[in-house]
Structure 1
Amino acid sequence: MSDPIHLNSYQRDARIARSRVLVSAGLVLLAFIGLLVQLYILQVVNFDVYTTRAENNRIHTRALPPPRGLIYDRNGVLLAENRVSFSLMFTLERVGKNKNWREVLDKLVEVLQLSPEERETFERRALQSRRPFEPALIMSGLTEEQRALFAINQHLLPGIEEDVQFVRHYPQGEHFTHTVGYVGRINSEELKKLDPVLYGGTNFIGKTGIERFYEEQLLGQVGVEEVETNARGRVLRVLSRTEPIAGKDIYLTLDTKLQAAAEQALGGRRGAIVAIQVNTGEILAMVSQPSFDPNQFVLGIGFKAYADLRDSIDAPLFNRFARGLYPPGSVIKPMGIVSGLESGKINLNTKVFDPGYFQLKNSTHKFRNWNRYGDGWVDIRLSLARSNDTFFYEMANEMGVKLLHKHMSQFGFGQRVGLDVDGETAGLMPSPEWKQRRFKQVWFPGETVMLGIGQGYMQTTPIQMAQATVLMATNGKWIRPHLAKTIGGEKPIDPDPMPDIEVSNPKFWEIAREGMEDVMHGARGTARGTGNSAMYRMAGKSGTAQVKSIPQGERYNRDKLNERLRDHALFVAYAPAKKPEIAVAVMVENGEAGARVASPVAKAVLDAWLLDENGVVKEEYRDGTEKGVHQ
């Protein structure tokens, strides 16, 4: 028997269809309600959030770096300026999700035909810490050819834009490198310490010299602008702008012509010269030779060029006038006379018999005078004119190291003397306490004897020697030597002035200064050849600083020494003698004879300041003793 045939129930099918329609309609309604809720959240609840995000994608705030303050010499000659430079800026956030930023840099190197070293530099600069959407300077100083190549291929280089910036330039080249200094790119270590707002958009910072010391004044105040951009980050229009405020201009005390004269007088030899205006403390010239062109450091010096400077045996990167440490030798003897008189260990009538050497009691060691035959009886003035070592051995032994340290420190030895000389070292005015800390040893009497002639542990810089000479010229009046004449039109103020050197009898200064005049013009003066050729009366003192010590019983023999182991030649002077206007310190490395080699250099600097174009002493500098006025 076959199975029965089932007929469709139209009522049941209709119920199923209706239920499915209702469920579908319910799901659609729920989806629609969800969409409405989401639209409400987006457009009402989170309206401010998403509006801000949209504006941030469209509107950006850009820092406007201020023009750096200019630097001039005392007469308005430009020493540091700002020049327009075309640069490439890279913003990582604008590269796009579908593009690797390293590939963009690879393409840039290919387009501009650059070296692998420059490619590494670009990546390092791109990765420097910065705020979001803040562009990084990756390349400066674009040539016209590079600009054209970039413009043609810019569509292949997302995130990279050309920008116009001011870049530092030093029109005087190497002549003021160690005084003015230079700026360079902000490195990663500096970036961690700098205020991101203050340095917003700024890519350079003072590295050395005045550029570094007065960084805050030269920097200026950053500006801000709001710009509207498209999806690629290209600026469509400027919405608002607050102009940056330029840094303060600085006029230095330096004189370009005197600087040139000092460099010429040094004649290409290694050494340093410092010239200071006596009554104001203004530094008129500061020379450290050899030097180098600071412009190559501004945009980034190449590895090879830097290595050549760094490894040069002549050390052009080294600032000799502020950081060079040299035994002062006999140039400190005038200061020693004032110290000895004030200590009471010698008096105005003191005489010492010189057999050509000095010996400590119960010692066989002989401390030799440079004149091994001796000068016989020597008083204060003759001790300076002849630079008699025996006199100063005797005086130092009588004073002792503690009195020497106390009185000589007042002349600035063993401390930084400059007000705004970047990188200046303190030198060393030794004491028993210093030796105990340094070597764990006691002080010996023989070390005091050597200290009396500026040898042994004592170390000074050329600027210290110049300042000590100023103090001799002014009878102990302290004005810190300084480089800034005005900053933004205002004179710098010394926040920590040094006390003047007080002595119990003004004649202490007088007899020491007369001895310095005898050096230049006395019948037995060690530099009388230089002094007598001058158109004015000078006061000076020569010195010789040992580089290699000579064993007891042996004599200095230049022919047996490497040129760089020969003595340094030193000389200090001021003029005119009766009305001092300018003081000079000269150090010629391995020049050997201060009176013969360094004194003509000092005279050339003095001539350049005191004489007119006809070789006659300028009216304002006459003291009644110059040639042609009174003999």
Structure 2
Amino acid sequence: MPQPIPLKDHEKDARLVRRRVIFGLAVVLLLLGVLASRMYYLQVIQYEHHSTLSENNRVHVQPIPPTRGLIFDRNGKIIADNRPSFSLTVTRERAGDWRSVLDVVVDVLGLTEEDRALFEKRVLQGRRPFEPVPILFELSEDQIARIAVNQFRLPGVEVAAQLVRYYPEGAHFAHSVGYVGRINERELAKLDPVDYAGTHHIGKTGIEKFYEDVLHGEVGYEEVETNARGRVLRVLKRTDPVPGKDLTLTLDLKLQQAAEAALAGRRGAIVALQPDTGEVLAMVSQPSFDPNLFVTGISFKDYGALRDSLDQPLYNRVLRGLYPPGSTIKPMMAVAGLDAGVVTPTSKVFDPGFFQLPNVKHKYRNWNRGGDGWVDLVTAIMRSNDTYFYDLAHKLGIDRMHDYMTQFGLGQRVSLDMNEETDGLMPSRDWKRSRYRQPWYPGETVILGIGQGYMQATPLQLAQATSLIATRGKWIRPRLAKSIAGEPPVDDNPPPDIQLRDPRYWDLAQEGMEMVLYGARGTAKRVGDTATAYRIAGKSGTAQVVAIKQGERYDSEALAERHRDHALFVGFAPADDPQIVVAVMVENGESGSGVAAPVLKQVMDAWLLDENGQLKTEFSPTLSAEVATP
């Protein structure tokens, strides 16, 4: 039996459609309401917040690094300059996948994987947001052209022109002026991020480091409007940076060159001072190096060659070199003995060629094994008689010796503006007890009397001690800065002058030093014979590198060249009106009077004499008085 065919219920379908339409409309209205409320929230309630964010995306504050102050020698010759250079910078926030961008840079410029690793290290250094980071310096024209052609592949990468430090005199002032280098992570953590915004270099050594605050200047800023890609559209506001202050040093380029020539390529150090002002006229440490290598980053190969060299070109011998002062301290010892009352100007000691402590068999030898017979104080200085000063040291004792020698600056830093200077060592009972847990022995006092044993000093400290003899105890710290923006530096804590019971003791020490060069038996008479335009007061010294056994003689030929004695000579001139103090140390030079003394005279000649070999007018009291007379 056939089934009935059901009829379609159009009314039911119509109700279903209406419900769906109403539901869809409700959903649409609900979504529109959510959208409208969200827009209201964002554009009305959160208006100030989002307008600020928008403005920050459009407007950026970019630092403008200051120009570093210049450095001149005392005659206005520039010795630390700034020169334009093109560098490649990367702004990490604008580069997107900046590691891939670095890969492209390496590919475009044909660089190595080592360069790639160095670039990444520089980019990862903590810097301010949107601050360009230099990754490659001193671009060539070819490199600039390659970057320009591939600019579309290098977002966030730009070629920027900037001023970088340049040292036109190269190695001449590497150990005094020092150099600047890239700011490392350790320095970055200590620096004020505001003061050094946009700055990528800082003083690393020497004057560049000591006067960093003066040379750096103050950073400037500019507000710039950028597009979505970070390209600058216009400058809205600019605050100019304040350049660093210029610095004039006490150093003299011509004297520096003359001192280097006098060393003639030998390892050593020379420091020349003006005794009445403390100004350092020349400061030579040989061998030296080119500081320009460090400004934009020295290569591993070049740095390894400098670091591993046996001659240690990076080592500042003037400030860090510690050497036994040898006989150069005998004039200071003489002053100490006179002032302490243990000797008088007429006291004599018999020298058989050696000295012995009471009830002790050990013989402390004089350099002249035959002995000098009876010697007084002036003769002892002239002959550099060890026996006399062995006896003087024994009478003086370690405690008084330590007190007097520290007054002359031994065992302490003496400079005003050279932060790399080491203290040296003037030993004492307390020092030995602390260092070796042993008592002080009389024999140790004896050998200190001739500048051997534990005593160590830098060439600068020897120059200062000699300057105190020249100025009769007036303490003026050695300094490298002559003026800062036209104003001389000030010593806020000068050491006290050396006050003696009788000022005539200074005359005896100076007389003995003159006799070293002009006495009939002076140890440096050959040099004194050639100094006719002015008189020199000086003292030779020999510093042992390796010990010689009791009873043995020094045999130069049996020793390796680097084990031979150091040669030292200190002095001032003119002797009656000191205008220059010089200390010379020639490593392994062996003879203070034969090797170091001629070097000292060449330096003094370069400073005191004119082209005709005559004493310059300003250094001749007679000529100066005639010029001043109307």
Moved over 4 A (4+): 1-5, 623-626
Amino acid at match of 1:600: P
Aligned to 2:68: 68
> Is the contact between residue 617 and residue 623 of structure 2 (CA under 8 Å) also seen in structure 1?
no
Instruction: Return the alpha-carbon distance in structure 2 between the equivalents of residues 566 and 14 of structure 1.
Output: 118
Considering only aligned residues, what root-mean-square deviation do their CA atoms show, in Å?
A: 1.3
Does residue 156 of structure 1 match 2:153?
yes
* Superposition deviation, residue 608 in structure 1: 0.8
Amino acid at match of 2:492: P
* Superposition deviation, residue 161 in structure 1: 1.0
* Superposition deviation, residue 119 in structure 1: 1.3
Higher mean Cα deviation, 187-196 or 169-178?
187-196
Aligned to 1:575: 573
Does residue 538 of structure 1 match 2:536?
yes
* Superposition deviation, residue 495 in structure 1: 2.0
Amino acid at match of 2:299: G
* Superposition deviation, residue 101 in structure 1: 2.0
Partner secondary structure for residue 179 of structure 1:
coil
Selected match of 1:262 from 259, 263, 287:
259
Instruction: Return the alpha-carbon distance in structure 2 between the equivalents of residues 479 and 344 of structure 1.
Output: 27
Aligned to 1:587: 585
Does residue 456 of structure 1 match 2:453?
yes
Instruction: Return the alpha-carbon distance in structure 2 between the equivalents of residues 610 and 126 of structure 1.
Output: 54
Instruction: Return the alpha-carbon distance in structure 1 between the equivalents of residues 321 and 52 of structure 2.
Output: 59
Aligned to 2:608: 610
Amino acid at match of 1:133: F
Instruction: Return the alpha-carbon distance in structure 2 between the equivalents of residues 506 and 233 of structure 1.
Output: 75
Amino acid at match of 1:169: Y
Amino acid at match of 1:116: E
Aligned to 1:621: 619
Instruction: Return the alpha-carbon distance in structure 1 between the equivalents of residues 214 and 101 of structure 2.
Output: 38
Higher mean Cα deviation, 489-498 or 399-408?
489-498
Instruction: Return the alpha-carbon distance in structure 1 between the equivalents of residues 172 and 419 of structure 2.
Output: 17
Instruction: Return the alpha-carbon distance in structure 1 between the equivalents of residues 67 and 521 of structure 2.
Output: 58
Aligned to 2:463: 466
* Superposition deviation, residue 169 in structure 1: 0.2
Aligned to 1:422: 419
* Superposition deviation, residue 597 in structure 1: 0.5
Instruction: Return the alpha-carbon distance in structure 2 between the equivalents of residues 547 and 555 of structure 1.
Output: 14
Q: Deviations over 1:244-299 (max 9, x none)?
A: 11001000000001111111111110000000001110000000000010001111
Aligned to 2:628: none
* Superposition deviation, residue 362 in structure 1: 1.3
Instruction: Return the alpha-carbon distance in structure 2 between the equivalents of residues 621 and 53 of structure 1.
Output: 71
* Superposition deviation, residue 178 in structure 1: 0.2
Aligned to 1:48: 48
> Is the contact between residue 128 and residue 197 of structure 2 (CA under 8 Å) also seen in structure 1?
no
Unpaired stretches in structure 2, ≥5 consecutive residues: 625-630
Amino acid at match of 1:472: I
Aligned to 1:601: 599
Q: How many residues align?
A: 623
Instruction: Return the alpha-carbon distance in structure 2 between the equivalents of residues 129 and 46 of structure 1.
Output: 32
Partner secondary structure for residue 284 of structure 2:
strand
Q: Deviations over 1:55-84 (max 9, x none)?
A: 222221111100000000001000000010
Aligned to 1:38: 38
Selected match of 1:441 from 430, 435, 438:
438
Aligned to 2:142: 145
Does residue 195 of structure 1 match 2:192?
yes
* Superposition deviation, residue 624 in structure 1: 6.3
Higher mean Cα deviation, 221-230 or 381-390?
221-230
* Superposition deviation, residue 625 in structure 1: 12
Instruction: Return the alpha-carbon distance in structure 2 between the equivalents of residues 43 and 162 of structure 1.
Output: 40
Instruction: Return the alpha-carbon distance in structure 2 between the equivalents of residues 333 and 3 of structure 1.
Output: 141
> Is the contact between residue 536 and residue 625 of structure 1 (CA under 8 Å) also seen in structure 2?
no
Q: Deviations over 1:516-539 (max 9, x none)?
A: 111111111111111121121110
Q: Structure 1 residues 625 and 67 mapped into 2: Cα distance closer, same or farther (>3 Å)?
A: closer
Instruction: Return the alpha-carbon distance in structure 1 between the equivalents of residues 9 and 369 of structure 2.
Output: 143
> Is the contact between residue 71 and residue 80 of structure 1 (CA under 8 Å) also seen in structure 2?
yes
Q: Deviations over 1:83-132 (max 9, x none)?
A: 10101111111122xxx322211111111111222111111101111122
Partner secondary structure for residue 129 of structure 1:
coil
Instruction: Return the alpha-carbon distance in structure 2 between the equivalents of residues 393 and 580 of structure 1.
Output: 30
Does residue 291 of structure 1 match 2:288?
yes
Instruction: Return the alpha-carbon distance in structure 1 between the equivalents of residues 443 and 42 of structure 2.
Output: 89
* Superposition deviation, residue 193 in structure 1: 1.2
- List aligned pairs for 1:6-405, cutoff 5 A: 6-96=6-96, 100-405=97-402
Instruction: Return the alpha-carbon distance in structure 2 between the equivalents of residues 415 and 432 of structure 1.
Output: 17
> Is the contact between residue 79 and residue 172 of structure 1 (CA under 8 Å) also seen in structure 2?
yes
> Is the contact between residue 81 and residue 167 of structure 2 (CA under 8 Å) also seen in structure 1?
yes
> Is the contact between residue 225 and residue 239 of structure 1 (CA under 8 Å) also seen in structure 2?
yes
Q: Structure 1 residues 623 and 377 mapped into 2: Cα distance closer, same or farther (>3 Å)?
A: farther
Q: Deviations over 1:406-462 (max 9, x none)?
A: 011000000000001131001000011111111111111110000000000000000
Instruction: Return the alpha-carbon distance in structure 2 between the equivalents of residues 28 and 511 of structure 1.
Output: 111
Selected match of 1:489 from 486, 503, 506:
486
> Is the contact between residue 576 and residue 623 of structure 1 (CA under 8 Å) also seen in structure 2?
no
> Is the contact between residue 286 and residue 313 of structure 2 (CA under 8 Å) also seen in structure 1?
yes
* Superposition deviation, residue 228 in structure 1: 1.7
- Matched-pair identity in %: 61
Aligned to 1:629: none
When normalised by structure 1's length, the TM-score is 0.97
* Superposition deviation, residue 4 in structure 1: 4.5
* Superposition deviation, residue 235 in structure 1: 1.6
Amino acid at match of 1:262: A
When normalised by structure 2's length, the TM-score is 0.97
